[in-house]
Chain A
């Protein structure tokens, strides 16, 4: 069974950093692109970043470009999001998602981890 389990969320001050992790047991992790999607409290979904199966292709939303870094460790079935220079606007639940292996549809979602940026 596909499972995605995020961790690493918490409270951080503006300007601070946080590293999110997503454990992905239960499927052939190295064969799929992975993504981060966030949702600010009471708001809609916002795609944050994507990484291809071999890390050859990486994309970021304009809102996080230059501040966030996505990475993966296929040997450990894990996805990461390094978040630097955080601002209050980055406060959100962050979801790890697995795509369908073909077109990029988000076939599976984790339960999310809450990041709160506040002084």
Chain B
């Protein structure tokens, strides 16, 4: 199962609403996670089951979608949110990640 994220990168300002898309090559129900990775750090789980917020993750992060189309939304971008975001499917045991979306400061 292939995952395609868009855009590959984006520039945004603090306070902006940011949306990242992830499209699966076949239906995966809601078996999708989103991870955040900052430079030099390990990734961190943000969202699982497409829309469930991992414990401790700020409520400005949200996820939606099912089947083949998914979205990660940051409602009001904060300075600590500048990072690279990856989607991951767990429908198939041959797990796959999207190629990543880098969120940069405008």
Which of A20-28, A41-49, A82-90 faces chain B? A41-49
Which of the 9-residue segments A8-16, A73-81, A104-112 touches chain B?
A104-112
User: Does B53 make an interface contact (CB < 8 A)?
Assistant: no
For residue B99, CB closer than 8 A to chain A, the reply is yes
CB within 8 Å: A-B pair count: 55
Whether B48 contacts A44 by the Cβ 8 Å rule is no
In the complex with contacts A103-B90, A105-B90, A46-B97 CB distance below 8 A:
yes
| CB-based nearest A residue for B96 | A47
* Interface band, chain A: 20 to 34
CA distance A101 to B99 in the complex (A): 25
> Across the interface, do A105 and B100 meet the contact criterion of CB distance under 8 Å?
no
Q: Which residues of A contact B98 (CB under 8 A)?
A: 44
Q: What residues of chain B lie closer than 8 Å to A59, measured between beta carbons?
A: 93-94
Residue from B31, B44, B54, B97 within 8 A of A103 (CB atoms) = B31
A residues touching B (Cβ–Cβ < 8 Å)? 35, 44-47, 50, 57, 59, 61-62, 95, 100, 103-107, 109-112
User: Can you show 23 pairs from A to B with CB atoms below 8 A apart?
Assistant: A44-B99, A45-B37, A45-B43, A45-B97, A46-B97, A47-B88, A47-B96, A50-B95, A59-B93, A59-B94, A95-B42, A100-B48, A103-B31, A103-B48, A103-B90, A104-B90, A105-B33, A105-B88, A105-B90, A109-B42, A110-B42, A111-B42, A112-B42
